[in-house]
Structure formats: structure tokens, C-alpha cells
Amino acid sequence: MMTQQPNGPDGDDRVRPWRRPDFLELVLTTRAESREGSEADEFGWQVWEGSIYAAWYVDGGVREDLPTDGSGWRGSDPIHDEDTMKLVVGELDRWMRRLDLDDTSDLLEAADAIAQDLLDVVEPIAGRDDVLTQVCYDLTDQDWIDRLLVLRVAEVIPQVRGWGVGAWASARSVQLLAPDAGTLMLTKAAPRDRTPFLADPDRELSPSEQRAWTATQNKIAAYWCQTLGLTPLPDNPAMLIGTLDTMEDAMQATLAVWQRR
């Protein structure tokens, strides 16, 4: 979530337009513990956190189309290095775990021990053995799956939206973390927060609010299908899966947009 925005030229809260970054970088770090405690390592999860950097070549002087102090992710400042300016513009989380198709109940337990949103992502495939053994095979043509990579969070600040920054970072993370075709990528296409869809936050979505929520889910799902090559589950189109083989063409096209020239 965006916590601070750069002020516009008149000192108001408008987002200042930046020129397109010259290149992107993704820095991934892993740790044995999750933010919530030490349960992640105990239940077999390997947690990867990524910082998404946008970078601009600079030639000295002040440029109004470049980031200013406090304009990055969570109010971060630009980093200057010789003729380059870098800024953290987003983050992502990736959760990886070995998968035992003979007993998927432990996957539910491992996700439930961490957080509800993680459980919401894995439950549609772990709650039914036929989804993993048959549906996933039918959709991916992959006859063996021994690892799960959950694409849990990917967010960027408003100033860089529309340039495919989040898609590039997501594709790059899969490229770096998925060791082989036996890794099943899984994500849920949904806004992170339901509050904007609710007139009354103390109740469930009304029929009209539910339609708006579903329409937004469908839009997000279509975006990730296009940019990452993910495939929706037939009976749950907000849940998207893929393997390196099924995602390869779309990911390469997404990564190519930001190849350094």
C-alpha cells in the first residue's frame, strides 16, 4: 500500500508525472522467519521478499520529471550512484514449499498456520486432490509437480503504473525462483483490500458491490494471464496456475519490454 506520495509542483497532493525509467531491477531476499513469527520455517515455507527498483540515467541538474525525496515505496528516497538514480517503487512476496501429491492436507495446515490470505490461495487446489492430480495436469500438461510457488503479493506505487513494472518483477521472480517445470505457480487475482467496494465496512458485499468486485477480479486475472501466461481454474477463474513451460512465451514477452538497450 502506498504510504506517501510526492507533492505536485503547486504543493498539493497530486502525483507528479515521471518519465519512464531506463531500466528495472529486482532484489530478492529470503529469511527463515515470516513477519508474523517463526512459523514459516517450521511449516516448510521458504519466504522470499522482493524490492522493485526503477532506475534512471541522469546527466546532472534538477529534473522535474524525476523522483524527489520521499516519493518512493513507503516514502523512500532516491539512491544516487554516479550517473544513475534508483528508487524502490514496489515490493513482492513469494512463498515456496515442497508439494506432496499423496497428502495435500499438510499444505492446508501449513498455510493456515501463517495467514488467512495464504490459506485462501492454496485451499482451492489443496482442498481437493483431483485439482492437483487431474485439473492441473490438464491445464499444464505437466505430469509431475513437486513444488509450489505462491505469488502472494505484488504492488507498485501509482507513479510507475501502466509501464508493466509489476508484471516485469513478477516474471523475473518466477524466472529466478522456479527451479524446473515441476514447480506449480499459483496466485489469486483480487484487489488486496475490499474496503473501496463497501458502502458499509461492517457488512458483507451487496449484490451490486459483489458484481463490481467480480469485475475487478476478472480484469486483474486477465492482466496476469496476458503478462505471465497463467491459466484460470475452470470452476474458480480468480485462481491462476502455471508452470515454466506454459508461462514461458508470455513471460519472455513481458521481460523483453524492459531489456536494457
pLDDT in tens, 168-227: 999 999 999 999 999 999 999 987 666 667 666 667 778 888 888 888 989 999 999 999
User: For the chain, what is the mean pLDDT?
Assistant: 84
Nearest C-alpha neighbor of 126 from the set 109, 138, 113: 109
pLDDT at site 47: 92
Mean pLDDT of 84-110: 88
**35-63: per-residue pLDDT in tens?**
454 556 668 899 999 999 999 999 766 67
Q: pLDDT band for 6, please (50, 70, 90 cuts).
A: very low
Contacts of 182 (CB under 8 A, 6+ apart): 142, 144, 145, 146, 147, 243
Mean pLDDT of 149-153: 93
Q: Lowest mean pLDDT of 40-54, 120-134, 152-166, 207-221, name the range.
A: 120-134
Nearest C-alpha neighbor of 161 from the set 3, 21, 26: 21
Contact between 241 and 125 (Cβ < 8 Å): yes
pLDDT at site 5: 32
pLDDT at site 138: 84
**77-91: per-residue pLDDT in tens?**
999 988 999 999 999
**% of the chain beyond a pLDDT of 90:** 51
Residue 151 reports pLDDT greater than 60: yes
CA distance 138 to 135: 5
Better pLDDT: 13 or 119 = 119
Residue 13 reports pLDDT greater than 50: no
pTM over 0.95: no
DSSP assignment letter at 46: E
Residue 9 reports pLDDT greater than 80: no
Mean pLDDT of 9-34: 72
The domain ranges of the chain are 23-256
pLDDT at site 102: 72
- Can you say how many angstroms the Cα of residue 230 is from the centroid of all Cα atoms in its chain? 13
